[in-house]
Structures are given as structure tokens and as C-alpha cells.
Amino acid sequence: MSADYGLDPRRVDPNYDRHGGFPVFEPADPGPGFARFLTAMRRLQDLAVSTNPDPDTWTDVAGQVEALVAQLDPFQSGEGVGPANRVPDLPGAGSLLMPPWIVDKFEPDEVLLRVTFSRYHVGGNDAVHGGVLPLLFDSLFGMVIHATGRPISRTAFLHVDYRKVTPVDVELNVRGWLREAEGRKAFVNAELRDADGNLLAESHGLMIRLLPGQP
């Protein structure tokens, strides 16, 4: 795997600081406790949408969660400071917002991921919610832009075609690549397949390089 999320964008975009001040996401090393925290939180998310305990249990766990919130609240930090989204070796780069993908390849020709959705991502009938896949593809498009060395860009549009039901609790493969580039425009494609190669969903989008001073 080759995935240098710590690449300083100023190396490929001398006007980076004039594009609205996006933070530079240097890799973080928060220690093994953060990985344990993420694992437990992902499991908690699954349980939060799949359990049906008695009212007293809800009251008890609510108190425990509130205590955890109180413990972490004093340590709030700005974007690009905390470890979320800055630990590329962890699922979803350490962000609970992101589906728990793992990067297998991060090169100019393509970016390859593996992802396993869980109960937390279900929209109905044990299928991944349709709104989760655009989040996955949009994140992948950003990786493709970074992997190809293009300047910082924003998503202009993203289109998703749903070909088959996306299942939970099985490992799936994701591929993204730059189809073509024209000036500020980068046309990006992506696809999601199961282990047998069946196409579950595919996406194409347009990423636009920011102008100087554009946030």
C-alpha cells in the first residue's frame, strides 16, 4: 500500500493558503487507546440502532454516555488538530463519520479500498442505506484528487447508480480513478463491488480546483 496522507498540499499547489485556509492534515499518532476507542464507538453505534433494552437500562447507559461526554468535552479542538481523519492506518482514517474503509492502494492511476458496512449503516431490510454510498464515493473522490497530485478541489456534482443491494457484514471492494482532467475540472469515477466482482454501485463526479481566495 502507498498512502501518504501527510503530503503537504503546498508542494503541488503554491496558492494553497489563498484557497480559504484548509487545514493541513498531518498524520496523527494518538496512541493505541484511540484505536480501542474507535472500535468501541463503532460497536456502540451498531448497538444504538439495534438493541431494545428495558427503560431502566436506557436510563443507566444514558448516564454513562453523558459521563463520557463530560470527560471528553474539555479537549475539543479545531479541524485538523484532533486525530479524527488523521490516522490512515485505522478504518475510515480514524473518523467515525466515515465508513470503516481500509486503503489498499493510493497511487495516481487508482485508489483501492476495502470496506465492511455494519448494522449502523442499514437503511432497511439488511441493506446499506442509499445515502451512505455517496459519502463513501465523495471521500474516495477526494483521495483520488490527492493521489493524482492535483490542487485542492471541491465536489461540483456526484452521481450514483445503484446496481444491486449493498449488503452489511461482508467485505466489499471500492475503486476510484481519474477519468480525465481539463483545466480546473477533474472527472472522477468509482465503483463498489462484492468479493465475486458483482457491481453493487458506481459513481461519477466532477471535482473543481478552488480559485485563489475561494473557501
Asked if residues 151 and 12 have their Cβ atoms less than 8 Å apart, the reply is yes
Does residue 11 have a pLDDT over 90?
no
pLDDT of 113-122, one tens digit each? Answer: 999 999 999 9
pLDDT bin (cut points 50, 70, 90) of residue 4 is very low
Q: Virtual CA dihedral for 177, 180, 183, 185, nearest 10 degrees?
A: -60
Kindly indicate the confidence band of residue 80, based on its pLDDT and cuts at 50, 70 and 90: confident
CA distance to 6, 16, 50, 197, per residue, from 152 (Å): 14, 7, 39, 32
Residue type, 102: I
- Categorise residue 31: left if φ over 0, alpha if ψ from -120 to 50, beta otherwise: left
User: For the whole model, what pTM was predicted?
Assistant: 0.88
Domains of the chain: 24-209 (3.10.129.10)
> Tens digits of per-residue pLDDT, 122-171?
999 999 999 999 999 999 999 999 999 888 899 999 999 999 999 999 99
Beta bridge partners of 162: 201
Torsion angle in degrees (nearest 10) through CA of 70, 74, 79, 83: -80
Residue 2's pLDDT is 39
Average pLDDT taken over every residue of the chain: 90
